[in-house]
Amino acid sequence: MERHLLLPLCLCWALSAGGAERSGPPNLLILLMDDMGWGDLGVFGEPSKETPNLDQMASEGMLFPNFYTANPLCSPSRAALLTGRLPIRNGFYTTNAHARNAYTPQEIVGGIPGSELLLPELLKKAGYVSKIIGKWHLGHRPQFHPLKHGFDEWFGSPNCHFGPYDNKATPNIPVYRDREMIGRYYEDFKIDLKTGEANLTQIYLQEALDFISRQQSSQQPFFLYWAIDATHAPVYASKHFLGTSQRGLYGDAVREIDDSIGKILKSLQNLGISENTFVFFTSDNGAALISAPKQGGSNGRFLCGKQTTFEGGMREPAIAWWPGQIPAGHVSHQLGNVMDLFTTSLSLAGLQPPCDRHIDGIDLSPAILQGKLIDRPIFYYRGNEMMAVRLGLYKAHYWTWSNSWEQFSQGVDFCPGQNISGVTTHTQEEHTKLPLLFHLGRDPGEKYPISFSSSEYQKVMEQIFPQVQLHKETMVPGEPQLNVCDKAVMNWAPPGCEKLGKCLEPPKSDPKKCFWPH
């Protein structure tokens, strides 16, 4: 394996897998799914084979079976993708309790700090026009909105599509176009919880097609961040797709997403810009097994799911597609992370990453365009704790925890049917002196810890310990943004509510420590 080398980025516009020249930087399209698991795609072995467009995307592009999120929960993983930095650096974590997952519900006071530099803001230097479609999840208060952090356009919501609410104790969540709300979920954008019917994916599809068409006409490079949420409970699909999957409602949602992605890729081809558009498909975290099988997906052979730092919570489906640039039908065993999309996108745009802060994402373009392997560790974080690290095929757990006995006794199970003694623990177990070590090639399900007394264990840990020591010594945590909650900051009166007559009266401010149970 060769180590990551920084090439002169000014050259990258003219580089490609086959050496063919390109004129100007490519368009960038990130397709980010919500709670979709590694095992939800036919190409990864899902037995129903109901993702023909994604499977074809993989056959025409490059599959990444070893691709990870930066956190097993929605908000921190999205913050990591757009900043190229671990959540503990960019502030998307909590210190209210040890190793707790935290995110951005309506009552959260914090959001993405103004000091963070997001991908669309940096891409402006290369003339990009950027749009986000779908879920933002980096803070719902106006100062945290996408257009305050580099995006030029937004259609979607700042929060998950939970509800409906009574607009008294809790307001329904707004949907925005750019800077102003245009309605609320369940009121103006219907989601039928009984049938699962909603037309949102079709709306998000049309938004994407319209934006791509406009940008093709304007001849400006674009960055489109398509962050849809149909596979996040409560799962939904449009009427045309309801009842069409062997997997039930969740499968209906996956089939509609697959169909939509097929139409987006076809649009790029029909407009003649597919060979100048880099497309990457992945998910924000593993499937939510607590909601499965009716409202959640599959993590294949991997252990546990969303909320945990076992493979099922952190390893994601990932496909890169770029006709004429990425060799078709290839599988890369490169260790990748959502944070790499930040650095890789900048590289493809001919830009350097910021040099005034630590960037965790690496440039994957040598792996994607030239088939090279870049030696690097993957760190698994849960809240403010580094729980595990992967180096090569080996993964060392420094802490193990699924969730508390109290939560588990109430039916909250992140590892249904997968209890492994001493591994899927319900108390936080520290292993920093003798980490639990697994070989993910032989044992992808993390069932068989390598013996502490074996020569294999000793040899591998001699390589891992220095990596972890260096990581911890150089770690400078950011100010935690997910510590304080206050019902007064909920979506009572978002920008634009006056025009619609949808402003609501907020309660008196009463900030408190957020409670994060797991």
Catalytic (active-site) positions: 74, 137
Helix (H, G, I), strand (E, B) or coil at 98: coil
Please state the residue numbers annotated as binding site: 34-35, 74, 284-285
Dist CA 118 CA 132 (whole Å)? 12
Cβ atoms of residues 303 and 395 within 8 Å: no
Question: In sequence order, which ranges of 15-60 are alpha helices (DSSP H)?
Answer: 52-60
* Residue (of 141, 142, 146, 116) closest to 130 by Cα position: 146
Q: Phi, psi (5° rounding) for residue 516?
A: -115, 105
Return binding residues for Ca(2+).
Answer: 34-35, 74, 284-285
Q: Provide the 10 A C-beta neighbour count for residue 327.
A: 16
Q: Residue 470 phi/psi, 5° resolution?
A: -60, -45
SS (H, E, C) 321-346: ECCCCCCCCEECCCCEECCHHHHHHH
Q: In this structure, what DSSP letter does residue 118 have?
A: P
Note the Cα 122 to chain centre separation in Å. Answer: 20
CB atoms within 10 A of CB 201: 22
* Cα atoms found within 13 Å of the Cα of residue 367, Cβ hemisphere only: 28
Count the Cβ atoms, other than its own, within 10 Å of residue 397: 23
Residues contacting 339, CB < 8 A, separation 6+: 70, 80, 81, 83, 84, 85, 86, 359, 360, 361
Three-class SS state of 387: strand
Backbone torsion region of residue 311, taken as left when φ is above 0, otherwise alpha when ψ lies between -120 and 50, otherwise beta = alpha
For 324, the token pair is 């004429």
Both tokens of 91, joined, read 């502030």
Cα diameter, the chain: 70
Strand, coil or helix: 465: helix
C-alpha span between 118 and 342 (Å, rounded): 8
